[in-house]
Amino acid sequence: MFIDEARATTAGAMKKRLAGMLPQHGFIDAKTIYAGTPSWTLPELGTEIYQGDWQDLLRDPRMKGIPPISQLNRSGPTSRSNVTSIIEGVRALLLAGGGAMRDRDIANAIVTLFELDDPDLYVMRDTDQDILDQRIKENGTEVVEAADRIWDALTTEEQRVVGFLDEPAAICARVVPSYVDPVAFAARLGYKMRTILEADPPPPGALELVSVRSVHLSRNAS
């Protein structure tokens, strides 16, 4: 009961947030399509309407790999990185459904996708480009070179995931490639990282820089 109440409250706030955000990113107000019901769609979906359960769409492959978000502001503008992830999530949701969806269903799906009704699963990060640049500037040449060596030893898929290895499994799984088992992938990457670090221990700060790069890459992946 308490979870349902929390979700309802969070979804209501998300619905308002989306109303201000979606028109700026090419989404179409679909009230005329959905018989006056507040709803949203994409231009390429025409007048189609999704009439199924929004929870079913969360299992669609399109919903995999959407970067997690940091804690949302209770007031004021949404951060650039959070906007990117939320917009990507809504777009994937509508494409998975193949038609217009009610705004409350979209909001509920986004709340569930990013687990906003469970604060324990938040990834409390800010990975905008200016933060990344500042970390690089502060860390110095030796640390940057060590981070480069670690970074270059990883595949692109591993680079996207390495910054989330210490996060809850539900968060880490979201950035693991959809075609592999998330638990096995994370385990292999963890072993690879231990091998790299034991062979050439990096100076303090290098791993933090790798993590910042990873989260930034994941947030801004196309």
What is the share, in percent, of the chain residues with pLDDT greater than 70? 79
Residue 118 has pLDDT above 70, yes or no: no
In the structure encoding, which two tokens stand for residue 61, read together?
Answer: 């492959």
Query: Looking at 131-135, 170-174, 212-216, which range is the least confident one?
Result: 131-135
Distance CA 102, CA 156 (A): 36
Q: Looking at residues 47-58, what average pLDDT do you find?
A: 92
Helix (H) or strand (E) holding 99: none
Residue 146 has pLDDT above 70, yes or no: yes
Beta strand residue intervals within the chain, DSSP E: 28-29, 39-41, 101-102
pTM: 0.54
Question: What angle (nearest 5°) sits at the alpha carbon of residue 131, between those of residues 175 and 186?
Answer: 20
